[in-house]
Structure 1
Amino acid sequence: MRSGFRLTRSTPILFVWLTLQSLVSSAQSVDSLSVSTQFPSPYQLKTGREIALLGTGAVTFGASVLLNRAVDPLTAADVAALDRNTINAFDRSATQHWNPTIAHMSDATLYTNAVLPVVLTLATKPMRNDMKTIGVMYLETLLFSNGVESTVKALSRRPRPFVFNPDVALEEKLTRDARQSFFSGHATTAFATAVFTSEVFRHYFPQSKWKPVVWVGTLGLASATCVMRYASGRHYYSDLLVGAAFGSLVGWGIPKLHEVKNQKSWGRRLNIQPWSSGSANGLYARWQL
């Protein structure tokens, strides 16, 4: 099933360029509105933890490369024996789609999300002053999320939806990539970078009016990436949902692990007051998450 609209080769490039231009303008506005005084970084690096995280990411990514080489492509006989009715009802509709142009568009939205943390870091002074910390955290996010996803993909060897589509040329189905559907790398990376960007921005600019814009923009791009991966016949719903969930967890978890545990902030979050009813006295406590 092909889409009813046409896209030129320059469309993805133009989309990325316009998105980055818009974000740079927004980031510069944030920079000009931020206070000039220095404030402590919301994150900190610890040598042992960073070695463990980077090492785990590198090992899983390296393992995925080796496992991928062991994947045998489907043969023509394998393809002929496939039956789309064996796919569960929730995922089956994906086998009706095939559109390489939309697949290229999903690359554009993915790459846009992936460069947003870099743009925000360079364009805003507080983040720029903390470039090393943000860079290490972002590398850990990308290595770990993609390493695990690629390893699972090489082990599961699930045929992509288009492999079941009789309208797709046979040569497209006889590649290693055609057997790497679960779970979606695009969804994983898109949501990992979206949540990472939004969480980091939130911590550096807790009072910024741009926080909702960053959240909606990054998650919107990630969602668009997933929609296009489905529409292009590259992934099933389940591939995308698992990828989005795992990517979001990593994108949130890496900054959380590095968050500075400032004991002074407890005083602002924990509110304790005395109370009296005339016949009894006590303390009222409220903890704000």
Structure 2
Amino acid sequence: MKQTITFLLAVLISCTAFAQNDSPYETSLKVEAPIILGSLGLGYLGVNMIKNKEGLTAAEALAKSSEDVNGFDRFSAGNFSEKADKDSYIPFYASFVAPVVMLLNKNESKKAGQIMVLFTESMAITGAMFSLTAGAVQNSRPLVYGSAAPLEKRMDSDSQRSFYAGHTAATATATFFLAKVFQDFNPDSKAKPYVWAAAALVPASVGYLRLRAGQHFLSDNLIGYALGAGVGVLVPHLHKKGSKNNFSLSPSMNPNYKGASMVYTLN
């Protein structure tokens, strides 16, 4: 963990030290470092919370029924497909490569370091939000509510964190970040509608496959999609030159809640 933090600080210092002319964004070490490192810390807390979650007993798993699921999500209760689960990782991993490929464009390549800092910040925030929520909320995946999945899998603690869809959220952050940055660097490009369409479709495909796999309900995917896309767009937007927005992320802990406090003020 110490090595990771040291490496990130070195990257942040080097990337934010470059002149930011010809870039639509303003970044600084004193802003980006606390947000990224704070988000990583909160994400680490969330991962530990996930590890400490308890699974179901055999009796509890067998007692689960589609009737226990709300009417909006009931249609997917009992879904289970190992193939769909495996296939969902294809667009999921591809989404992380897309922002790197974007850097091949001459406008973005000149500010590759700055863009990667913002991308790291976006993914760190999304990761913190997801892991804290998944660790705090006990909600069985759709596969638990049927007999298609092996009983052992239905009992597993990993199957008790349906809310919300982390794969969908992370993919949406990556693709919407790409689209937003592309638009800001290339405001007159005719390719913008196609870039935004791809940004919307890729996380939607991940959500669909996670739904078929029995990993998440529709509501889990919709929330993950919205939160992920929001972070992907807002992080670069709040760093645009001329913006007088203040954005901060800090730990928030009390007896009833452990998580992140996000503050956005418009001066």
TM over 0.5: yes
Cα deviation for residue 70 of structure 1 reads: 1.3
1:93-117 Cα distance to aligned partner (Å, 9 max, x none): 1113211111111111111112100
In structure 2, do the counterparts of structure 1 residues 93 and 262 end up closer, same or farther at CA, with 3 Å as the change threshold? closer
How many residue pairs get aligned? The number is: 225
Q: Is the counterpart of residue 46 in structure 1 residue 19 in structure 2?
A: no
In structure 2, do the counterparts of structure 1 residues 229 and 262 end up closer, same or farther at CA, with 3 Å as the change threshold? closer
Segments of 5+ residues of structure 1 without an aligned counterpart are 1-37, 264-289
1:158 aligned to which of 139, 142, 148: 139
Q: Is the counterpart of residue 56 in structure 1 residue 16 in structure 2?
A: no
Q: Distance in 2 between matches of 1:161 and 1:178?
A: 9
SS in 1 for 2:140: coil
2:172 aligned to which of 191, 204, 209: 191
Q: Residue type of the partner of 1:133? A: Q
Question: What TM-score, normalized by structure 2, do the two folds share?
Answer: 0.81
Determine the structure 1 residue equivalent to 2:56: 74
Q: Is the counterpart of residue 147 in structure 1 residue 119 in structure 2?
A: no
SS in 1 for 2:88: helix
Q: Distance in 2 between matches of 1:230 and 1:66?
A: 26
Cα deviation for residue 223 of structure 1 reads: 0.9
CA contact (8 A) 2:122 2:232 kept: yes
Determine the structure 2 residue equivalent to 1:34: none
1:111 aligned to which of 79, 82, 93: 93
Mean alpha-carbon deviation: is it higher for 177-186 or for 90-99?
90-99
Cα deviation for residue 39 of structure 1 reads: 6.6
Determine the structure 1 residue equivalent to 2:239: 258
Q: Is the counterpart of residue 172 in structure 1 residue 153 in structure 2?
A: yes
Determine the structure 2 residue equivalent to 1:99: 81
Q: Distance in 1 between matches of 2:21 and 2:243?
A: 13
CA contact (8 A) 2:126 2:231 kept: yes
SS in 2 for 1:126: helix
Determine the structure 1 residue equivalent to 2:201: 220
Q: Distance in 2 between matches of 1:251 and 1:226?
A: 17
Q: Distance in 2 between matches of 1:107 and 1:142?
A: 17
1:123-152 Cα distance to aligned partner (Å, 9 max, x none): 112211101110100001111101111110
Q: Identity of paired residues, percent? A: 27
Q: Residue type of the partner of 1:53? A: I
Larger Rg: 1
Q: Residue type of the partner of 1:236? A: F
Segments of 5+ residues of structure 2 without an aligned counterpart are 1-19, 245-267
Cα deviation for residue 81 of structure 1 reads: 2.1
SS in 2 for 1:226: helix
Q: Is the counterpart of residue 209 in structure 1 residue 190 in structure 2?
A: yes
Q: Distance in 2 between matches of 1:253 and 1:52?
A: 17
1:237 aligned to which of 215, 218, 226: 218
Cα deviation for residue 250 of structure 1 reads: 0.5
Cα deviation for residue 262 of structure 1 reads: 7.8
Q: Distance in 2 between matches of 1:138 and 1:91?
A: 32
1:140-167 Cα distance to aligned partner (Å, 9 max, x none): 1111101111110111021100011112
1:152-206 Cα distance to aligned partner (Å, 9 max, x none): 0111021100011112111211322101100000111111112100000001111
The two structures, once aligned, show a CA RMSD in angstroms of: 1.7
